[in-house]
Every structure is written in C-alpha cells, then in structure tokens.
C-alpha cells in the first residue's frame, strides 16, 4: 500500500498535467480563431453600382423630369419628353445632383455659348521670284488636319492649343470628364463646335444642330478619333 506522501505526490502531478492540457487546448482554439474567413467586400461595404452606362429603363418608371433646367415633378420618359416638346430619344437619362434617376433634354442646362470672335485673315505675302524647282520627290503621306483648340470656361473662350488634331483636341477637352443629365461642356476645334453631353461627344458646324462624334466609354474615357 502506497504511503500518504506518495498519494499526495500523484494527485499534485495529475492536477499539474490537467492544468497544462487546458492551457494547450485554449491556445489551440485561440489560434484557430484567426483562420475565420474574411467577409467579402460586398458584405463589408454594401452593394456597389457602376453607373458609367445608362441603366435599363422600364417605360413606366417614374423619373425626376426637368424642363428648361427646372424640376417639374415625376413622370415617365414619354411624359417628360412630351412636356419638353421633344422625342423621348432627345432626353438624357441618368443620376441628377440628388442621386435620383432623372430625365432632361440634351444640354438643356447649358445651351451653346456665343462663338469666339473670328481671327482676322493675314495679309497676303509679297510675291517674290523663286528658284527653279528641285526634282520632284514622292509626295509625303498627308497628315491629319490641325486647327486651334479652345475650351469654353463658362464666361469666355480659352485657347488650349494653336494647332492640333481633332482627336487631340477632344481628348484635351473632355477625356476623363462626365456630364450630368441636361448639362454640357463646350469647346471649339477650328470652325467646329464640340459638345460633351452624357455618354457622348457631339459636333456642330453651325453651333445649332449637333450630331454624335464619338460615344463615351466606361470611366468617362473617350476612344481615339481617326
């Protein structure tokens, strides 16, 4: 039969082993807690929408309708077009300043500004005798035409370049910029008025009738114009 001192030693050793096992288990469980999968971004930040492109529109959906730049109430796209006296295709649809879906005539908030003053034609150069022409060389490949590029700042016209191509002018004026429904930004390339409206760049030779020059891409980008 074991002595009382031996029994006490066994009990003490057993208790120590139990405490040590408990500590090991606690450390293991705490370590596994770090392996919990991270919540997906959608769960953390909520649903995120890309509004770079116009949403599919239910013909019966009520939109915020603008007439001559003024909010006139809620209406369907057809009703808003009727109030503006235009076809439904002439309305821009997108998010207005309040973040609500709205419809307004193209550039109704920003009609074309007055044209910049014409530059006086230079005087003809004096006639001088020229030497005999050199041997004819193959004609170089014609380059893209260039003209002055101007931006309308809201009160006046500012020249961006004295001579540049149409593509370079459009990129300089509008690349990376987006417009709200009913609004517009204007520029000039030579004798052509350029206009940025929602989702496209337009051009006009008379500053009245505009037609699409290029569709705007995602993230307000503009494809190269050739």
Q: Could you report the per-residue pLDDT of 168-225, keeping only the tens digit for each?
A: 999 999 999 998 888 899 999 999 999 999 989 999 999 989 999 999 988 899 999 9
- With tokens 């390339």, the residue in question is 189
- 73 is in which domain, residue-wise? 63-105
Residue at a domain's end among 43, 72, 105? 105
Average of per-residue pLDDT values in the chain: 77
Examine the domain organization and report whether 157 and 92 are in the same domain: no
What's the predicted TM-score (pTM) here?
0.60
Res. 43: pLDDT tops 50: no
- Domain-located, residue 71: yes
- Domain-located, residue 129: no
What is the separation, in whole angstroms, between the first and last Cα of the chain? 105
Examine the domain organization and report whether 96 and 151 are in the same domain: no
- Domain-located, residue 138: no
- Domain-located, residue 27: no
- Domain-located, residue 162: yes
Residue at a domain's end among 49, 77, 105? 105
- Domain-located, residue 97: yes
Residue 194: partners with Cβ closer than 8 Å, 6 or more residues away: 169, 170, 173, 174, 186, 187, 188, 201, 202, 203, 213
Res. 8: pLDDT tops 50: yes
- Domain-located, residue 113: no
Tens-place pLDDT, residues 114-141: 888 764 444 455 555 666 666 666 655 6
Instruction: Report angle CA 74, 220, 68 to the nearest 5 degrees.
Output: 35
CA–CA dist 71, 171 (Å, integer): 32
Total domain count for the chain? Answer: 2
CA–CA dist 168, 187 (Å, integer): 12
Tens-place pLDDT, residues 70-82: 889 999 999 999 9
- Give the Cβ contact number of residue 202 at 10 Å: 19
- Domain-located, residue 167: yes
Examine the domain organization and report whether 151 and 215 are in the same domain: yes
User: Would you give the distance in Å from CA 58 to the centre of its chain?
Assistant: 24
Residue at a domain's end among 78, 105, 132? 105
């Amino acid at each position: 039969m074991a002595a009382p001192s031996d029994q006490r030693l066994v009990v003490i050793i057993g208790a120590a082993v139990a405490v040590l096992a408990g500590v090991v288990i606690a450390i293991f469980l705490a370590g596994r807690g770090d392996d919990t999968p991270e919540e997906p971004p959608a769960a953390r930040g909520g649903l995120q929408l890309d509004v770079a492109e116009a949403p599919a529109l239910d013909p019966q959906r009520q939109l915020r309708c603008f007439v001559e730049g003024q909010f006139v109430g809620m209406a369907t796209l057809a009703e808003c077009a009727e109030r503006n006296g235009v076809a439904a295709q002439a309305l821009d649809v997108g998010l207005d300043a309040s973040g609500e879906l709205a419809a307004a005539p193209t550039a109704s908030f920003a009609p074309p500004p007055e044209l910049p003053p014409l530059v006086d034609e230079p005087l003809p150069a004096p006639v001088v005798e020229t030497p005999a022409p050199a041997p004819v060389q193959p004609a170089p490949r014609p380059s893209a035409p260039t003209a002055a590029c101007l931006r309308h700042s809201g009160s006046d016209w500012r020249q961006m370049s004295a001579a540049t191509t149409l593509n370079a002018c459009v990129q300089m004026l509008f690349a990376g910029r987006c417009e709200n429904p009913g609004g517009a930004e204007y520029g000039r390339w030579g004798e052509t008025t350029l206009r940025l409206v929602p989702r496209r760049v337009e051009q006009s030779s008379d500053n009245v009738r505009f037609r699409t020059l290029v569709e705007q891409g995602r993230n307000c980008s503009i494809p190269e114009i050739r």
